[in-house]
Amino acid sequence: MTNDTKIKNVCIFSSSSNNLAEVYYEAARQLGILLAQAGFNIVYGGGNLGTMLENAKAVKEFGGKVTGVMPEKLYEAGLGNINCDEFHVTKCMRTRKEKLDKISDAVIALAGGFGTLEELMEMIVQKQLGYNTKAIVILNTAGFYNNLVNFFNEMIEQKFAGPESKELCYVAQTPQDAVNYLINYQPKHFDIYEKLNLENKQKVQNI
């Protein structure tokens, strides 16, 4: 199955650790292969370690373009992947995220640490507030994100988030599932003004 959508550059959030279980590196490699075969390129943190590197290597090996974006502090520490097709050095982590967002059309979060989680949450909130309509995918390799998904459901159940929040991101169980979602993705716009007007209308009706 090939990519016939407007999505071209997929932002990958993942881990820089070399000490993970093999299942996570294999999932990163498989995702890279499938993305490249489907005609997608990737944009990522530019690192030469962990699942970040495994994914980038696979994309490049199978004909996809790889763009790295890294803050200067990490780049000067020698952590950049010199085999990227394109590489951007930013001033800090915040400007790195801004650049990743600007040059990507979709997001896939692999299993990762605090940085991956922080990046993922920002993209979800951006979509929730109507700043983008990007496909956001959580790749739930080996059930890594089960607890996070349960927490999302708990927030919705206790009304910290509306039921429509379930549509902000997609939880994929396999790399193929993630790629299929991108291929078939239909953008949905979350309008914060419409939501606020609806909530205000409901308040008036309840008076």
Q: Is the pLDDT of residue 205 over 90?
A: no
Range of the domain at 65: 9-206
Is position 129 within any domain? Answer: yes
- Cβ atoms < 10 Å from Cβ of 187: 14
Q: How many helices (H) and strands (E) does the chain have?
A: 8, 7
Q: pLDDT-based confidence at 202, cuts 50/70/90?
A: low
Distances (CA, A) of 155 to 111, 137, 143, 188: 21, 19, 20, 21
Cα 145 to the center of its chain, rounded Å: 13
Give the CATH number of the domain where residue 189 resides: 3.40.50.450
Helix (H, G, I), strand (E, B) or coil at 170: strand
In a domain, 3, yes or no: no
Domain assignment of residue 4, yes or no: no
Question: Does residue 1 lie within any of the structural domains?
Answer: no
35 inside domain? yes
pLDDT given at position 190: 87
The tens digit of pLDDT for each residue in 52-108 reads 999 999 999 999 999 999 999 999 999 999 999 999 999 999 999 999 999 999 999
Q: What is the model's pTM? A: 0.91
- How many folded domains does the chain comprise? 1
In a domain? residue 2: no
User: For residue 145, is it within any domain?
Assistant: yes
- Does a structural domain hold residue 139? yes
Give the pLDDT of residue 55: 98
- Bridge partners, residue 70, by sequence: 89
Token pair for 174: 């396999």
